[in-house]
Structure 1
Amino acid sequence: MVPGGKPGGNNLTGLLWTYMSEPTSGLNGRSVMVPRGHVLGGSSSINGMVYTRGSSDDYDKWAELSGDRRWSWKALWPYILRHERWGPPVGGRNATGEYDPKVHGYSGKVSTSLPWDGPVEHDLRTVKNAELQKEFPITLDVNAGRPMGVSWMQSTIGNGERSSASTAYLTPEVRERPNLTILVNTYITRVLPVRTTGHVPDIRTVEVAPRTGGETRTLTASRELILTAGVIGTPQIFLNSGIGNKTELSALAIPCVLDIPDVGMGLTEHTAANLAWTITPRPTNPIAQDVAWAMWTANRTGPYSAAFTHQMLWARLPVNSQALKDFGDPSAGPRSPHLEMPLDSARSAYLVLLTPYSRGSVKIRSKDPFDGLVIDLNVFSHPFDIAAIKEGIRLAKRFYSGAAWDGYISSFNGPDPDSLSEAEFRTRVTQNALTFYHPVGTAKMSPKNAKHGVVDPELRLKGASGLRIIDSSVFPHIPTAHTQAPVYILAERGVDFIRDSWH
């Protein structure tokens, strides 16, 4: 697939689950799309291709919350490297000094790389800014476990093409395997127990139907089911199957197979405020669209071979932050940034809150598997989140007020917490805020014997046998990262859990 889109734009019709959220006060009463990939490769086939793992503290927090050190950064390191196939920028430019070769894998399935073209004016001013403002240093590699500062953006792009879970793992050779059958346009309606032994259901049967509805059929695994339906699909399937809050299931006339109240709860999402600056007009020499397309079709270079920006800023709130004093620190630790800001032309920017306190949920409307969902994002419901955005905007203003930006930026257009009342600021933020399409945590991992959570540290459904979940729904804490790399890490770790169980 073309990383930078196609002339005239990408038509994603048919490639998305068209989920919509409930109206929420945190988005000024708006209902927003919750896009998930309805295509082989899932959301890795339709996302922004940003490759960030998060901080070492994020995974140490997973280990803490799961009660299992096998989820720590150190223990996961082999799996962090296992899935990655790092390569040079397409076109072969010298990217020395933009990454750390010691922290990458070179023989995995998923291709990763830096942008095809070298630094532009904004990038060079950012580097100069790092020399003048010590608050915003250049960090050699965002994926070394401590991403604070400005880093060069890494993407799941190889040889000028998108690298997705489908292109990486479902290669033509793999698709020819006699023990693999891929069913498309097929909808999982329920998972079912084949038997129950001592109140423990053995859930190894999946019920499927055509995507447009129709007669169902069942398929039963000889050993175990691996469910990878994602942060929305996994709780939907469980609830339709009678796995969830017993009281809520009863209200929908769904017999309860397993009473697990945390199914569908704890949805966590990165949310962004939309900022804008006025920049001084300057001469540009963009590559014409037809020339750019010719470059990509000829040798996979040019603007169409790249994602949307070159650099990203990762930052923690100041140590004297009032938000941290008032509400505590929701981050996993001092290596985890609270904020992210993709750096582009500075005309506009998204300030992303990576460590929200707010939590939402996914529920079903009825016992009909084809009925719509109740997706409550519930963003900005906790006062820390708006307070952190406020302090983050002040940080962004400091970033673009350095001498390196003289003659480039003329004014900040807001929303400005220093010129608006509390009510005005909240309204401005929530009117234009957007989610960053990183929802996680609706079937969380927890210690094996804990009464809370949905899966144990080996990703097996609690209270049952025969079923494992390997997707972002099991994340016990949202990572300070774009979530596709953490999913690959989770999946590689899960593979060995499965292998160790049966060999």
Structure 2
Amino acid sequence: MRISCQLPAVSWRALLPLVVVLPQLVTHAEARLTRAVKDVARADYDFIVVGAGTAGCLMASRLSESRSTRVLLIEAGGSDEGIQEAVVPFFAPTMAPNKPWNWNYTVAPQVELNNRTFPYPRGRLLGGTSSVNYLVYNWGSSDDYDRWANHTGDAGWSWSGLERYRKKNERMVPPADGHDTTGQYDPAAHGKRGNVLTSLPGWPTEIDNKVLNATTQIPGYPYNEDMNSGDQIGIGWVFSSVGNSKRSSSSTAYLTPSVLRRPNLDVLLQTQVTRLISSKSSKQVSFKRVEVAQGPRSPRLTLRARKEIVLAAGAVGTPQILLLSGIGDPKALKRAGVKPIVSLPDVGRNLQDHALLPHQFYVNSNDTWETAAREPKVMASQVAEYNTTGKGPLVGTICNHIGWFNVEKNHSMWQNHSDPAAGPKAGHYELVFTNGFVGVIQPLPDAGNFMTVISNLASPASHGSITLASANPWEQPIIDPGFLTSHVDLLVMREAYKSARAFVKAPAFNGYINRPYISSGAEEDSDEYIDEYIRNYTTSVWHPVGTAAMTPARSKKGVVTPELLVKGVEGLRIVDASVMPFIPAAHTQAPVYVIAERAADLIKAAWRLK
């Protein structure tokens, strides 16, 4: 491993530029990657997968396992090879915003967040958002998936129905430092032979023991040995998509050199799908052609799938493509200048996301991220350690522990509001414990060392939308997550705020935490102050889902059937986060993988592929 580093001044989010050369990276130069549309325009494909993200790389890999099937994978961005920030786990926050391998979306002004707007990153490269996220590999609770099954009428989406796909996706490997993991997880809950490498934290931080000790000192914060076992309530060790000290993305896990050398798989880069093209069959409208271009001024060409088009462009990209293709609410399509072809009003609706709120605290320590961010010699030492041993602070993501919690059943908020959580095993909110300053929209202070407790709204009741700004496929859609538009979400975030502040008052933090970074100066903040803090500093965890939700096959609501087929059309299936009917109380990377693993088997069964 080799990294060379030239450090800028202060922010831990800007520790690069780096040059990373790691010998175990996927070498796409050996593979069937083409950057020219003309190379594939005349080819004959059975399946065209749109989007090489978390789900798309998996789908292309699984479908091309059948030697008799020809598969094309189309990605709007480029290769992930050589993007150093995508390799080193700790540098995940430097992957966004305003980077060339990102779509660089921005949310519409959020009415309940004082009309603020902010970046909304989604990956635009091989691996998609699995190549730019913060690497947390978290399934959610059994209640989340059982709710999917009950909602769709398909037991295959239940926790037990998906067990084999969880195991099929994951390969749990030792942490980077090789420490004894006894008591830190349940091996029976994890896969051992899957594609995505996962591991426990490979570098201890000063706050680890403090967090764990606090679980024994104050009520309401129990230790959970393995929150990926189906019941996630409590605080436990985080699982990350990290193996051999490097990020494990859907690209590195599923588009390995041997997969990319398959003669029946092609990957088309730097090519955007501008719309799907319909034709009339004897029974219904068929969508088996995609229109593509490599830029706004480039010629548009049409590619055809003999069997199916698989849309895997994500919870933002998928509804945008559907709408541009004339699939959606007819009235809204006409307003945007698109000819309606199929009436599916729920396309782009039901957008759900997790709201994020940081709580920073000054600490009596210099063993936090800020030291390396401000002192080039310290960072150089960490880089050297990573280069020579594959160990040290750079081998992990931003947290070693997370926790999930419920607002108590007798709380007054439930007198006037329905409980949005899937069940008692799914949290209303999450706490993330980080050994440094996380601000998202706040710059790193010039002085001081910090601990941050991030609170995330895990089971939101609010819904937003993805709509077209125009009929121009090169114009970003309007992304409105609708944060806190349901009042119960504000109430839950208020409780999460109080919970974060209460947790750091445990005896374990005596003498360590000085004071909050932002405070009203009051001993106990009022609800009015808390609500204003929430409105001023809340952003997103960047977990959009639900914009092409699955519902029962005969239901007039929703967008896809439980088999993920687009309703009312032929030849089109969706496989990504957009099909989730409810957002899980989880980081959404792992749930997308399990959706895609099952979807691959559904397609193989439908077409009798071996």
TM-score relative to the length of structure 2: 0.79
In 1, Cα distance between equivalents of 2:339 and 2:296:
25
Aligned CA distance change for structure 1 residues 415 and 478 (closer, same or farther; 3 Å): farther
Question: Which residue of the partner structure matches residue 185 of structure 1?
Answer: 270
Question: Which residue of the partner structure matches residue 478 of structure 2?
Answer: 374
Deviations 1:174-194 (A, max 9, x none): 111111111111010111224
In 2, Cα distance between equivalents of 1:10 and 1:229:
19
> Aligned to 1:268, which of 348, 352, 362?
352
Bigger shift: 341-350 or 441-450? Answer: 341-350
In 2, Cα distance between equivalents of 1:233 and 1:204:
18
Deviations 1:123-153 (A, max 9, x none): 1122222222231111101201111111101
Q: Which amino acid aligns with 2:605?
A: D
> Aligned to 1:292, which of 360, 382, 385?
382
> Aligned to 1:241, which of 307, 321, 325?
325
Deviations 1:12-38 (A, max 9, x none): 621100211111122221111111000
Aligned CA distance change for structure 1 residues 281 and 164 (closer, same or farther; 3 Å): closer
Q: Structure 1 residue 211 and structure 2 residue 269: aligned?
A: no
Q: Structure 1 residue 52 and structure 2 residue 157: aligned?
A: no
Q: Which amino acid aligns with 1:352?
A: N
Q: Which amino acid aligns with 2:152?
A: S
> Aligned to 1:42, which of 124, 128, 135?
128
Instruction: Tell whether the 8 Å contact from 2:453 to 2:500 is kept in structure 1 after alignment.
Output: no
Q: Structure 1 residue 393 and structure 2 residue 497: aligned?
A: yes
Instruction: Tell whether the 8 Å contact from 2:102 to 2:124 is kept in structure 1 after alignment.
Output: yes
Instruction: Tell whether the 8 Å contact from 2:433 to 2:452 is kept in structure 1 after alignment.
Output: no
Q: Structure 1 residue 448 and structure 2 residue 448: aligned?
A: no
Aligned CA distance change for structure 1 residues 232 and 326 (closer, same or farther; 3 Å): same
Bigger shift: 453-462 or 350-359? Answer: 350-359
In 1, Cα distance between equivalents of 2:191 and 2:120:
32
Deviations 1:234-279 (A, max 9, x none): 0100000000001111223322111000000011010022223343
Instruction: Tell whether the 8 Å contact from 2:545 to 2:583 is kept in structure 1 after alignment.
Output: yes
In 1, Cα distance between equivalents of 2:527 and 2:211:
31
Instruction: Tell whether the 8 Å contact from 2:497 to 2:530 is kept in structure 1 after alignment.
Output: no
Instruction: Tell whether the 8 Å contact from 1:415 to 1:429 is kept in structure 2 after alignment.
Output: no
Bigger shift: 103-112 or 202-211? Answer: 202-211
Question: Which residue of the partner structure matches residue 540 of structure 2?
Answer: 435
TM-score relative to the length of structure 1: 0.95
Bigger shift: 27-36 or 437-446? Answer: 27-36
The within-5 A match list for 1:196-207 is 196-198=281-283, 200-207=284-291
Question: Which residue of the partner structure matches residue 430 of structure 2?
Answer: 340
- 2:285 alignment partner, SS class: strand
Aligned CA distance change for structure 1 residues 300 and 185 (closer, same or farther; 3 Å): same
The alpha carbon displacement at 1:421 in A equals: 5.2
Aligned CA distance change for structure 1 residues 10 and 16 (closer, same or farther; 3 Å): closer
Deviations 1:277-297 (A, max 9, x none): 343457779792112112222
In 2, Cα distance between equivalents of 1:303 and 1:283:
11
Q: Which amino acid aligns with 2:282?
A: T
Bigger shift: 338-347 or 485-494? Answer: 338-347
The alpha carbon displacement at 1:315 in A equals: 0.7
In 2, Cα distance between equivalents of 1:275 and 1:3:
23
In 2, Cα distance between equivalents of 1:436 and 1:224:
33
Q: Which amino acid aligns with 1:450?
A: S
Question: Which residue of the partner structure matches residue 588 of structure 2?
Answer: 483
Q: Which amino acid aligns with 2:499?
A: L
Bigger shift: 406-415 or 54-63? Answer: 406-415
Q: Which amino acid aligns with 2:401?
A: Q
- 2:276 alignment partner, SS class: strand
Aligned CA distance change for structure 1 residues 89 and 367 (closer, same or farther; 3 Å): same
Instruction: Tell whether the 8 Å contact from 2:201 to 2:238 is kept in structure 1 after alignment.
Output: yes
Deviations 1:27-60 (A, max 9, x none): 2211111110000010000000001000000000
The alpha carbon displacement at 1:413 in A equals: 5.4
Question: Which residue of the partner structure matches residue 111 of structure 1?
Answer: 197
- 2:188 alignment partner, SS class: helix
The within-5 A match list for 1:165-180 is 165-180=250-265
Question: Which residue of the partner structure matches residue 361 of structure 1?
Answer: 465
Q: Structure 1 residue 132 and structure 2 residue 222: aligned?
A: no
In 2, Cα distance between equivalents of 1:249 and 1:299:
56
Instruction: Tell whether the 8 Å contact from 1:275 to 1:415 is kept in structure 2 after alignment.
Output: no
Question: Which residue of the partner structure matches residue 25 of structure 2?
Answer: none
- 1:154 alignment partner, SS class: coil
Aligned CA distance change for structure 1 residues 165 and 194 (closer, same or farther; 3 Å): same
In 2, Cα distance between equivalents of 1:162 and 1:149:
26
Aligned CA distance change for structure 1 residues 145 and 250 (closer, same or farther; 3 Å): same
> Aligned to 2:598, which of 493, 497, 502?
493
Aligned CA distance change for structure 1 residues 127 and 419 (closer, same or farther; 3 Å): closer
Q: Which amino acid aligns with 1:322?
A: S
In 2, Cα distance between equivalents of 1:403 and 1:27:
34
In 1, Cα distance between equivalents of 2:469 and 2:367:
55
- 1:272 alignment partner, SS class: strand
Q: Structure 1 residue 409 and structure 2 residue 513: aligned?
A: yes
In 2, Cα distance between equivalents of 1:303 and 1:365:
43
Q: Structure 1 residue 149 and structure 2 residue 239: aligned?
A: no
> Aligned to 1:310, which of 380, 395, 400?
400
RMSD (CA atoms):
2.0
Instruction: Tell whether the 8 Å contact from 2:106 to 2:119 is kept in structure 1 after alignment.
Output: yes
- 1:75 alignment partner, SS class: coil
The alpha carbon displacement at 1:422 in A equals: 4.8
The alpha carbon displacement at 1:370 in A equals: 1.5
Aligned CA distance change for structure 1 residues 92 and 419 (closer, same or farther; 3 Å): closer
The alpha carbon displacement at 1:89 in A equals: 0.5
Q: Which amino acid aligns with 2:232?
A: P
The within-5 A match list for 1:272-283 is 272-281=356-365
Deviations 1:453-500 (A, max 9, x none): 000000000001111100000000001111000000000010110010
Bigger shift: 200-209 or 448-457? Answer: 200-209
Percent identical pairs in the alignment equals 37
Bigger shift: 161-170 or 295-304? Answer: 295-304
In 1, Cα distance between equivalents of 2:185 and 2:519:
34
Instruction: Tell whether the 8 Å contact from 2:274 to 2:473 is kept in structure 1 after alignment.
Output: yes
Question: Which residue of the partner structure matches residue 351 of structure 1?
Answer: 455
Q: What are structure 2's unaligned runs of at least 5 residues?
A: 1-86, 436-449
> Aligned to 1:473, which of 578, 586, 601?
578
Question: Which residue of the partner structure matches residue 108 of structure 2?
Answer: 22
Question: Which residue of the partner structure matches residue 65 of structure 1?
Answer: 151
Question: Which residue of the partner structure matches residue 445 of structure 2?
Answer: none
The alpha carbon displacement at 1:317 in A equals: 0.8
Question: Which residue of the partner structure matches residue 52 of structure 2?
Answer: none
Q: What are structure 1's unaligned runs of at least 5 residues?
A: none
Question: Which residue of the partner structure matches residue 391 of structure 2?
Answer: 301
In 2, Cα distance between equivalents of 1:442 and 1:330:
18
Aligned CA distance change for structure 1 residues 396 and 106 (closer, same or farther; 3 Å): same
Instruction: Tell whether the 8 Å contact from 1:415 to 1:428 is kept in structure 2 after alignment.
Output: no
- 1:397 alignment partner, SS class: helix
Q: Which amino acid aligns with 1:138?
A: Y
Q: Which amino acid aligns with 1:392?
A: A
Instruction: Tell whether the 8 Å contact from 1:93 to 1:117 is kept in structure 2 after alignment.
Output: no
Q: Which amino acid aligns with 2:380?
A: D
Bigger shift: 413-422 or 109-118? Answer: 413-422
